[in-house]
Amino acid sequence: MVMTATPAQSVTGSTSRSARSLGAVARWLTLADHVRIGMSLMAGAALWLVIATVVGALLGVERFNTGTALVNADAHTQLFSMHQFALVFGVAAPLMLGVAIWSVPAQLHASNLSLPRLAALGWWSWLAGSVIVFASYLGNGGPGGGTERFVEMYLLGLGVVVVGLVVVAISIVATIMTRRNGQPLSSIPLGAFSALVGALGIVLTLPVALGTIAYLWVDYVNARVAFGGADLLPSWLGWAMREPQSLLYVVPALGVLGDAAVRTARSRQPLRGVMLTGVGIAATVIVSSVTQQAHVFAVGTSSSETLQSFVPYALFNLTPLLAPVVVIMLSLLALKAGKPALSGAFVASFFGVGMIVTGLVGSAAMHLDALNLVGTVFGEAALVYVVYGAVLATIGAIALHAGTVTGKALPDVPVMLLSLLGVLATVLASLPHYVAGFLDQPAAVATGFDDDGVVGVANVATTLGHALMLLVLMAFVGLFASSRRADGLADRYRVEASA
């Protein structure tokens, strides 16, 4: 017998599907569990990564003398500012917080976050602020903007973004402090511990940026005599979007590497206390950030002047370097202590933290007065190294925790291949500008310098690097989506070991 649907049945079925769709949207809009909040933050960061890679590639083309301009020269200041915002507050900070929100409860064997609705408020605040900032750039706002109301909108959106990130960080801190099931902090997984360090750093430093934003807004809407108007916004807020502050945003990457090493090797971390100390060293950035200054080392006319310059330089630029270096060395030691086989999570996180180290080394070199790198593209390259390294570490984190959080593990070989492509993309997008920095290519400008020879090649290479990172992102999103529909894989990281 052939059954056919009557019109009434078809209408009922259509209504039922619509109701389910509306229900799914409503549940997502009222999300209050760690998986959805974390995924939302990571998805939002992925959208900003698309913007960052496109703008980075566009600026690379603009810097190379092709005889034609893709955008109006007056928009270059906004493009450079948007690129920096996208990398720091669009990608690095929300991406790492999203990874923490998504994975920390599972690491602590907790059912959900502490203060989940507060975390949801932070996500929506960050999203709303991001949209406001993006709209302000489209309206000729932001640093150097020429339209007053859109400059004001930029400051408003940036403040809302900062509030959202701080609120999310507070939820992470509360979760780790209250849902440890009686474990001391020294015994929790390294991923959770590093998330705690990073979240505390955000809670303690970004309110300083929020206060500065408030002062800038009051000055801008009035006399504009204290802070100098839109053109000088980066000089007051730049510390929040460069190294070493960026290390606080990406500290969770260190925990991903540490956990990936011990789970890949099926071993314990031989020097766990030293590993925890290494991660904790990243907190020294807090002292540097609240000074809101770049600490440059210059040789003085006397040994005492030289020492006075070197001490703050070493404290605020060299000390934070110890954090990722210690984690890398002890992760390799954990592999030696076990019987490891290559894994996607380890490869991605190892190279991700390696890129972060390269960016921090570049930042430290840039603050050596003798090298004359301040004001060149060298600083831009250091930031790209750190942020794209965080992207690679996020790939490792998802590969490491996907089986536990979602029940669907990711295949190792595609993750490793995409990680290696991501390394190539990061190096192409950054290393050429390290070279161009020594050749005095100025930062934040697309014209007015010699773009022939090595400098021209460097700008072409960075364009290719940003474009390749966009392809890596798209491919990984496709891999993750396909893994959700495929049959379950054996989760090689499910066996827990103390990290």
| Rounded-to-integer distance, Cα 91 and Cα 391, Å | 8
Alpha helical stretches, state H, 317-411: 322-337, 344-366, 378-406
The pLDDT of 120-143, averaged and rounded, is 93
User: In the numeric block, which tokens belong to residue 254?
Assistant: 């260190």
Is 324 contained in some domain?
Answer: yes
| Rounded-to-integer distance, Cα 368 and Cα 305, Å | 15
pLDDT given at position 54: 95
Give the CATH number for residue 473: 1.20.210.10
Q: At 449, is the secondary structure helix, strand, or coil? A: coil
pTM of the predicted model as reported, rounded to 2 decimal places: 0.92
pLDDT given at position 460: 92
Residue pLDDT, tens place only, 380-400: 999 999 999 999 999 999 999
Is 252 contained in some domain?
Answer: yes
Q: What type of residue sits at position 450? A: D
Residue found by looking up tokens 């801008």 in the block:
220
Is 7 contained in some domain?
Answer: no
Q: Which residues pair with 376 in a beta bridge?
A: 442
Domain count, the chain: 1
Instruction: Look at the alpha carbons of 368, 374, 377, 383 in this order and tell me if their dihedral is positive or negative.
Output: positive
Residue 9 in this model has a pLDDT that exceeds 70: no
pLDDT given at position 276: 93
Query: 499 pLDDT band (50/70/90 cuts)?
Result: very low
Q: How far is CA 473 from CA 241, 277, 319, in A?
A: 22, 33, 32
pLDDT given at position 89: 96
What residues contact residue 74 under an 8 Å CB cut-off, 6+ apart?
Answer: 146
Domain hosting residue 218, numbered range = 32-485
Is 23 contained in some domain?
Answer: no
The pLDDT of 211-228, averaged and rounded, is 84
Is 44 contained in some domain?
Answer: yes
| Rounded-to-integer distance, Cα 437 and Cα 363, Å | 12
Residue 467 in this model has a pLDDT that exceeds 50: yes
Residue pLDDT, tens place only, 278-326: 999 999 898 887 777 778 888 888 888 899 989 989 988 999 999 999 9
Instruction: List the single range of 78-87, 106-115, 155-164, 484-493 with lowest mean pLDDT.
Output: 484-493
Residue 97 in this model has a pLDDT that exceeds 70: yes
Residue 434 in this model has a pLDDT that exceeds 50: yes
Residue 254 in contact with residue 323, Cβ under 8 Å? yes
Is 2 contained in some domain?
Answer: no
The pLDDT of 478-498, averaged and rounded, is 74
Which range in 23-32, 135-144, 197-206 is most confidently predicted, on average pLDDT? 197-206
